[in-house]
Amino acid sequence: MNCTAVGVDIAKHVFQVHYIDQETGEIVNKPIKRAQFLEHFANRARCLIGMEACGGAHHWARQLVKMGHEVRLIPAEFAKAFNIRNKNDAADARAIWLAVQQPGK
């Protein structure tokens, strides 16, 4: 079974999530409220989740690892190299999604 790569941009109230739905091939880039974030990943198959390393990322990473997901914290400088558009939450989530799939990171 393939592991879906997910990019997450963490913000104060809303997290932006970017991944490709493996069943439909559809690109999903949607906001999720903080209260529903863990619920979104609770019943999903194992994922490789990338998050920009920041103060709150370690808390969320620990919670996701408890659910069986693999989490990689990406340095902001590394993720920034993959952001080819204007800086916003959706573009940042896509950049993190691209960065987490790179070998060696």
Mean pLDDT split into 10-residue runs, the chain, 105 residues: 82 94 90 94 92 92 96 88 80 92 78
Cβ neighbours for 14, distance < 8 A, ≥ 6 positions apart: 31, 32, 33, 34, 89
**Domain 4-100 annotated CATH 3.30.420.110:** yes
pLDDT value at position 1? 35
Q: Given the DSSP bridges, would you call strands 14-20 and 4-9 parallel, antiparallel or unpaired?
A: antiparallel
pTM of the model: 0.88
Q: How many CB atoms lie within 10 A of CB 73?
A: 17
